[in-house]
Amino acid sequence: MTKDKTICHPVPVLLEENPAPARQQKAAWIFKGSSAWCNCSWELWSKAAQKACGSWHRGKMNIQEYFARISYDGSHKDADLQTLTVIFQHHIQAIPFENLSMHCGETIDLDLQSIYNKIVRKKRGGWCLESNYLLFWALKEIGYDVCILGGNSYDPAEKAYTAHINHILLKVEIKGSPYIVDAGFGGAYQAWQPVMLISGKDQPQIPGIFCFREDNGIWYFEKVKRKHYISEQSVPTTNTTEMGNIRKIYSFTLKPRHIDDFQELNTYLQVSPDNILRKKSICTLQTTEGIYALVGWTFTEMKYNYMEDTDLLQITTLTDEEVEKTLKEKFNIVLENKLVPVNVRGLPPNIVDMI
């Protein structure tokens, strides 16, 4: 073999159109940037090619790989409501809502390939922009009629909806009926099923009763709250301002959006010091019974309907070492970079504090 040093990537050129068994086949290597050729055994080519070209194969997104990530092994040949509901539930019980990247010194890129690699291959979670964009891609792949919408979350401290869009959600049409599918709100305000887009109708689910209200083209998403019972074995929570039985979550219109409409928001959320996501490191995951939530060093486990109209909360304060262990054991997350937990206290009432 020549000693040419300009080798980059090996590309296999099969010597026979109908080759013999792979173990006995000979292959030729063409080295990009070089005139060097080498005849070698298939075994040697296979090892080197897998190492050099593996990233090409890993880069391609695949719906079956997504299904494996969410532990879904059912059929998806019919783009119906039943299939949508099961896939959605697998998604929210496998993919945490989390903002840990910004507290690990990592940049969050709002492009599909980066999100896919992070959530599907690295088994991370993501915030609404990431989780719902990934779900949008998956539903498109399956064959659903789905579009992106923009939402304005409700700020309890201001008693108003935000002036600018700060949330992404999905609308899916099935046999002429529209449903809101949102896998990216997290915490106790995460629906467990697609919610039919109809105004004024109570829609009970395990997490609670959800409802839409429409007024002059603006839709409002709300939830009926339940009482919280705090386990005697856990650390008591601080008192929060009572906000009534109805919890306003966000508003939205039916204007279709494109992911590029959220690029500026994605950047803002990562750099704005006043943003609550900068002041709290958050990781929440829906379970078969309720929620796991890790905010800073505080781990909360919520069980829905522990008693009639009452959810059970068990709250534990963790050490730094326990935070890392909890992320692995409860959320199946192993971070590549060091997490700096954050939980600024004394903020006005907000969704995170009301988990």
Model confidence pLDDT, tens digit, residues 300-321: 999 998 888 899 999 999 999 9
pLDDT at 244: 57
The arithmetic mean of pLDDT across residues 74-81, rounded, is 94
Of 155, 182, 311, 353, which one is the catalytic site residue? 182
Q: Is 128 a catalytic residue?
A: yes
Residue range 24-29: average pLDDT?
Answer: 34
Q: How far apart are CA 272 and CA 221, in angstroms?
A: 26
Residue 230 in tokens: 């705090």
Residue 167: active-site member = yes
Give the whole-angstrom CA distance, residue 246 versus residue 213.
12
The pLDDT of residue 251 is above 50: yes
Q: Does residue 146 register a pLDDT over 90?
A: yes
> In the chain, count of helices (H) and strands (E)?
8, 18
Residue with the two structure tokens 């040093």: 5
For residues 104 and 337, the answer to whether their CB atoms sit within 8 Å is yes
- Considering the candidates 76, 91, 103, 128, report the single residue annotated as catalytic: 128
Report the half-sphere exposure of 316 (CA within 13 A, side-chain side).
14
Decide if 167 contacts 152 (C-beta within 8 A): yes
Calpha distance 300→280 (Å, rounded): 14
Of the two residues 347 and 114, the one the predictor is more confident about is 114
Residue-wise pLDDT for 194-246, tens only, equals: 999 999 999 999 999 999 999 999 999 999 988 889 886 554 443 343 445 88
Q: Is 182 a catalytic residue?
A: yes
3 state DSSP class of 330 = helix
Tell me what pLDDT residue 346 has.
61
HSE (side-chain half, CA atoms, 13 Å) at 195 = 32
CB atoms within 10 A of CB 25: 16
**Identified catalytic residue from 167, 211, 311, 353:** 167
Write phi, then psi, for 168 (nearest 5 degrees). Answer: -120, 140
Distance between start and end Cα atoms, the chain? 65
Question: Which residues are paired to 236 by β-bridges?
Answer: none
User: What are the φ and ψ backbone dihedral angles of 354, each rounded to 5 degrees?
Assistant: -95, 15
Is residue 134 over pLDDT 90? yes
Q: What is the pTM of this model?
A: 0.80
Confidence of residue 11 (pLDDT cuts 50, 70, 90): very low
Q: How far apart are CA 255 and CA 117, in angstroms?
A: 29
